[in-house]
Amino acid sequence: MDERERERAVLDRIGRGLVYTESEAAFQAGRRRADLIFEYNHTPPGQTERQRELRAAILGSCGADAVLLPPFHAAFGSNVHLGDGFFGNVNLTFVDDVEIRVGNGVMIAPSVTLTTTGHPVHPDRRVDFARFSEPITIEDRVWIGSNVVVLPGVRVGYGSVIGAGSVVTRDVPPMTVAAGVPCRVLREITEADLRTRVAPD
């Protein structure tokens, strides 16, 4: 098996959510954007055009009017796709060994981690930083509270709210409020929520 065939075989395993090692995946190192992320995190706040240029160079794609407050962190950066009107607060971490797709109008509070990657439970299977990766999808108009962790393979449905401090281990349906460790659906979002925290007439 030649080098290209080996790389295709590793990518196939990664795509199926199977375990692979750091050495096996080393050929992907060129897709990491560590130096650009460092520059982004140290760009003065007033240099908004430079920040925009760096976002375009770092991310797989970035929609119009996206805001990503520094500092942020990413394993690659190039596997992250942000939609239009995205707002990401400080200390957002993308463990993007595979794709993280974030929709339009999504708001993410401080110190959130979206991690596509986990490790085998048995220590003998964690040699050479062995891991598995599954993509994350955050649909349009989701709000994720502070200090949330979203784990591999999760999809958060349209319009949903994830409460602060939650660990999201499974899919969250659209238009629901979910919270906890592990995260559970608490209730649906309804028309009544349009009337909360509104000044009286």
Q: Does the active-site annotation cover 119?
A: yes
Catalytic position from the list 42, 73, 81, 119: 119
> Mind spelling out the 3-state secondary structure of 139-177?
CCCCEECCCCEECCCCEECCCCEECCCCEECCCECCCEE
Beta bridge partners of 72: 92
What single-letter DSSP state applies at residue 35?
A: H
What single-letter DSSP state applies at residue 98?
A: S
The tokens of 68 are what? 């990503």
Compute the distance between CA of residue 15 and CA of residue 9 in angstroms, rounded to an integer.
10
Residues with a known catalytic role? 119
